[in-house]
Structure 1
């Protein structure tokens, strides 16, 4: 294994503006998620009271969004959390370990996230072509990941145009679905709660935790602009605006989507659907309507995979650029000035992850991200306030530290109500990452094995 060494200079082209950043976030957030997870949320809580999970997920996401906005504006570097954790906790000390742990989880989480979108894409493809077998769908998901890798192998300016066009299609599809649901909305169906639906017992709390986990997965992506922070123009203004704007917009769309579907179809029928929006539109307009919306959702899913892969491909590049990962991942295309090895690595690994079941993908994603990333950022924003003030803090979260504390409490609640296997997997991955870091640090004499100042002085 080669040693870590400094990489070439960071990305030179700050070409992404507010609308490009907003569209990158929206596509990442929407993707295929809400169109396949509504039945999972209803099942987790056993009825339309699952809406409380979507609302709680929006609150947690907004509070966490304030954390990201503050960090992104203060440190507009590519790589997002890698850059933040490295600097928040002192890049010469614990920051090196936390940044490495984030990189470690990203090498798994990034491909899992992309693969989740690809698997959801094939669910709607299966609605149109119901005779496709399991392995055919897996193969098609993998091909989609590789095709997006090829499309991203270009300059960021053309990438931004594609994301903007796809976002317009996504918003138009949402509008059509919500409008159709409003025309056939039946309050008796929408609020047909089972007996004792809101009894505050362990079953309710566990179900709410599971539903909130699903919701925050669907809201996730509002931080995508932070992954490409080094390519954003006017980042002190654009990054916070894109983050908060995308969360508010998507929260309204998700609540409208949920109410539209359960207000027009019996929720017990919705629970058993694998392509719920296509079934819903087919219920209203017939099979032709279902096929049209399935195509629109597949476009949204493709767009989400596209921008998610774009964002995650910058993380290994940023780490290599800091000298904390293998130099080869810092390579830039000589003409397009975009990461090459980092992008191809993430794309190929995403294709392989299409073998994993969708519900497992989602649960593992959220638990691992919470343990490695979200919780550490919330803590860092609070305890390293003076460091952020020294950076000028062009954006400050309102009511500090309340949003960070609420976000941290939400992440802890989600993890503790998850299945034990996912918690053990996340904790195990954390300790393996720590072990790898310590072995590497000992070899390179980095923190906590760095020589003391007296040892560094020549005799």
Structure 2
């Protein structure tokens, strides 16, 4: 039975531009407008800062190329969940879904929706009391649009990807206007010292966090046209565009604020625009950041819902969540569950610590997800693949080992958050076996 005939399967409606926009929109949220300051605090010169962003981009590109092969081999909704289930079994796959689809995805949606609401309310003159209602309203609107299927969600996403790229261009142009021959001063300082290896890895974490989200296209792989060709192209082109944007934005920050000014700023994009255009400039970039964060929420909700739906269809979550609406081919119940939980987190204000606790777990699952490539290569050695990651096994090994090194450095630097992250993952083990026992009793 073909996809078009099976009402419980997705339809392949996403073209190359749609898929590339998902990659760009899933990576560029609000992080680049804030986390550059954190990276500057952990470095002593502009050169070190740009080196970290370049290394983070190259490392993420290595991961993206590996995901391109995985997506071409298994072009199904669910992404990492599917790879882990096939390579390592249902328990690791459940732990991924438990950590990401039930905690990290809704937590990140709640956090970024609140960031959107902060900037949106500031831009139109609403007070702080409107932030939570605006964030909840944004999530409700996004879920409602995605109820109509992936094409409706893609049209909205394409629009907000263009708007967020417009915000990037505005920041870069401002940096060019303000540079006035001072970029060399901003790139270096009199007290530049090489970062020790562990300090370098620790400083890399906020960079990797800002590059996160590149996996959302794999979550939506079941709806990509000609996925064996489209997935590698969209992942590569999208991430390459992100790396260029991030390097240019950081150059603009350095040009306008200097390294010390960037390290001291809590809102570098607004501070930069304020120097050139005054308060109207700060309000203008606030609108741009609101568009950027709104677009990210759209992708996170769409991708996270596909993981939840796949878990439900697998019997690893409530069966009702595994249903796909026959007319729109959208996982409407999964969308409602994910969006509803994110709204609860917004209204309770409890998402901040959840994100701190799951960042390590997220990148740990990225490492395990890439590691499944070794299993696929060995298990299907005689099976041709439509796309193969170049420089295998070097690229996946570099990605996995570097991510594990960053996790190790983070654990030494923040043992509390890292320990809680691993604890949340491990709590899923008894939940998995309890769920299996309940399902077996129901089957009797």
Match of 2:169 among 172, 175, 184: 175
Cα distance 1:409–1:315, how it changes in 2: closer, same or farther (>3 A)? same
Q: Where does 1:293-372 land on structure 2 (aligned, <5 Å)?
A: 293-354=285-346, 355-356=349-350, 360=353, 363-371=356-364
Distance 1:320 1:214, change over 3 A: same
Listed one character per residue, the Cα deviations across residues 281-304 of structure 1 (whole Å, up to 9, x for unaligned) are 111111112211221221111111
Quote the residue 2:372 is aligned against: 380
Aligned to 1:82: 81
Deviation (angstroms), 1:127: 5.1
In 2 relative to 1, CA 361–180 (structure 1 residues): closer, same or farther, beyond 3 Å? farther
Match of 1:195 in 2: 191
Distance 2:189 2:324 in 1: 55
- Distance of 2:186 and 2:425 partners within structure 1: 42
How far, CA to CA, are the matches of 1:212 and 1:365 in structure 2?
17
What is the distance in 2 between the residues matched to 1:83 and 1:16? 20
2:16 corresponds to 1:18 = yes
- How many corresponding residue pairs? 427
Residues 125-164 of structure 1: pairs in structure 2 closer than 5 A: 125=120, 128=123, 132-133=127-128, 136-164=130-158
How has the CA–CA distance of structure 1 residues 376 and 229 changed in structure 2, closer, same or farther, with 3 Å as cutoff? Answer: same
Structure-1 residue corresponding to 2:233: 241
Alignment of 1:114 with 2:114, yes or no, is no
Deviation of 1:199 after TM superposition, in Å, equals 4.5
**What does the per-residue CA deviation read over 1:128-147, in whole Å, with 9 as the maximum and x for residues that have no partner?**
478844x6434433332233
1:69: how far off?
Answer: 0.7
Match of 1:53 in 2: 52
Q: Distance in 2 between matches of 1:188 and 1:99?
A: 48
Contact 1:74–1:394, Cα closer than 8 Å, also in 2: yes
SS in 1 for 2:256: coil
Which deviations, in whole Å up to 9, do the C-alpha atoms of 1:91-132 show, x marking residues without a partner? xxxx11111111111210111221232233244346547884
Determine if contact 1:20/1:160 at 8 Å carries over to the other structure.
yes
- Structure 2 unaligned segments of length 5 or more: list them: 1-5
- Comparing 175-184 and 80-89, the one that deviates more: 175-184
What is the CA deviation profile of residues 182-209 of structure 1, one whole-angstrom value per residue up to 9, with x for unaligned ones?
Answer: 2322224422436243253xxx733x33
TM-score (normalizing by structure 2): 0.89
CA separation of 1:384 and 1:76: change in aligned 2, threshold 3 A? closer
Kindly indicate whether residue 164 of structure 2 is the aligned counterpart of residue 165 of structure 1: no
SS of structure 2 residue aligned to 1:266: helix
What is the aligned-residue RMSD (CA, Å)? 2.4
TM-score (norm 1): 0.86
Unpaired segments ≥5 residues, structure 1: 1-7, 90-94, 447-459
Structure-2 change in CA distance of 1:101 and 1:275 (3 Å) = same
Q: Within 5 Å, which residues of 2 pair with 1:441-456?
A: 441-442=436-437
* Cα deviation digits, residues 40-81 of structure 1 (max 9, x gap): 222233553332321221122011112211110000000111
- CA separation of 1:362 and 1:271: change in aligned 2, threshold 3 A: farther
Distance (whole Å) between structure 2 residues aligned to residue 352 and residue 210 of structure 1: 32
Q: Is the 8 A contact 1:57 1:215 kept in 2?
A: yes
Partner of 2:67: 68
Greater helix proportion: 2
Residue matched to 2:404: 412
Q: 1:51 to 1:378 in 2, by over 3 A?
A: same
> 290-299 vs 225-234, which deviates more?
290-299
Query: Is 118-127 or 374-383 further displaced after alignment?
Result: 118-127
CA distance in 2, matches of 1:150, 1:12: 18
Q: Which of 184, 189, 192 is the aligned partner of 2:178?
A: 184
The one of 416, 421, 428 equivalent to 1:421 is: 416
Q: 1:351: Cα distance to partner?
A: 2.2
Matches within 5 A, 1:225-240: 225-240=217-232
